[in-house]
Structure 1
């Protein structure tokens, strides 16, 4: 179990803090808006109304002990940047920040935060991928054009082996795991026989994974 601080409890920060709690972590939720704090206060480990641009107020909360801090302040660019500067002054290194614009991103990159998040853009990309490849439930970019994709095996593919499913793409795409009800099989050998409703996770270049799409529907 880890401990996180989420600064900014609007729609994005509130959702992130509640999801972290559901994953079994401790979460400190902070916001200057009483309404936002009240909405999640009874669901978090600790919640407080605070001005995140006040370094002394942040220091009193001892959030330097957290494994990571997520700065999810909305459109207030100045407040977001000041908050990050204060966190840096407090010796916090693992800082994730929601960016609201390109200029915001540019400033944050110069401040050396751990990760810059663009929720709307990232969700837009996910929605586009889901529309383009409805058979893909989830996907994750691993860098260098390598992706993990999660696919549900449909009825017409039942009885095929992994090798038959991949065919000429088997040199580039690999079976990462198969989830069948409560059982998980990993790694997945070439002769593994697939069943309808199996969840198959594949790893490989995006271009090759795209070429497999027609045979999966």
Structure 2
């Protein structure tokens, strides 16, 4: 498994640490607050007190050996920016950073970080999408126009066939798999019947998938 580091143990940083640990990865969890580090010491494999604005302290952590470093520092934008500069100087391969403001985002873009994250905005978008399209369990963008989505099959769709569901089907849409309990069916045809509780995974254009979701809501 891979090795990661998370700098900043607020709610966002801790959640990332715990999830990476669940997936079997080694995580170095760092924060400037000794009380915060001590609080999570029993839950995380390796915790350390560090001032992320001090390059000398960061250098002791051997961060270049990590697959990626997530800078999850909260409202202290200056510390976040200094941390990124130091990580660049140390030769860290992948740097992901939580941005607090638009100005912070712009500075991080200029610094060339690998990914800028806006947790509240991204979660807000996902919640809005879930409210607007409750049949969509999960979605993953491949680019701005193409998505993979997992549709939950409810009672209204139970008994329908994929051919009916995708009656507007064209080259922009492709059913990838149908999950029923613990079984995944990848040999799908127009006659494959859907049942309540199934999950259907589709690959398609955003335009088509939006039309499909709107048709579901009209049922």
Alignment TM-score, normalising by the size of structure 1: 0.94
Bigger shift: 74-83 or 142-151?
A: 142-151
Aligned to 2:131: 131
User: Contact 1:154–1:216 at 8 Å: present in 2 too?
Assistant: no
1:114-170 superposed Cα distances (whole Å, 9 cap, x missing partner): 100011110111111111111111111111311111111112322322121110134
Matched residue SS, 1:17: helix
**1:107 corresponding residue in structure 2:** 107
- Extract structure 1 runs of 4+ deviating beyond 4 A: none
Structure 1 counterpart of 2:144:
144
Q: Give the CA deviation at 1:189.
A: 3.4
Secondary structure of 2:19 counterpart: helix
- Structure 2 CA distance for aligned equivalents of residues 116 and 71 of structure 1: 10
Which whole-Å CA distance do the structure 2 matches of 1:2 and 1:191 have between them? 43
> Could you tell me which residue of structure 1 aligns to residue 172 of structure 2?
172
Let me know the Cα RMSD of the aligned residues.
1.5
Shift of 1:45: 1.8
Aligned length: 217
For residues 216 and 146 of structure 1, the distance between their equivalents in structure 2, rounded to whole angstroms, comes to 20
Whether 2:89 is the aligned partner of 1:93: answer no
SS at match of 1:156: coil
Structure 1 Cα separation of the partners of residues 109 and 187 of structure 2: 38
Partner of 1:162: 162
Retained in 2: the 8 A contact 1:71–1:80? yes
State the match for 2:190 in structure 1: 190
Offset of residue 53 of structure 1: 0.9
Distance in 2 of aligned mates of 1:142 and 1:216: 23
Runs of 5+ in structure 1 lacking a partner? none
Alignment of 1:49-60 (within 5 A): 49-60=49-60
Pair 119,170 (structure 1): closer, same or farther in 2 beyond 3 Å: same
Q: Which has the higher helix share?
A: 1
In structure 2, how many angstroms separate the alpha carbons of the residues matched to 1:96 and 1:178? 34
Asked if structure 2 preserves the Cα contact closer than 8 Å seen for 1:26 and 1:44, the reply is no
Task: Give the alignment's TM-score, normalised by structure 2.
Answer: 0.94
Structure 1 residue 16: Cα displacement? 0.7
Confirm or deny: 8 A CA contact 1:139 1:147 kept in the other structure: yes
Structure 2 counterpart of 1:21? 21
Distance in 1 (alpha carbons) for counterparts of 2:153 and 2:98: 36
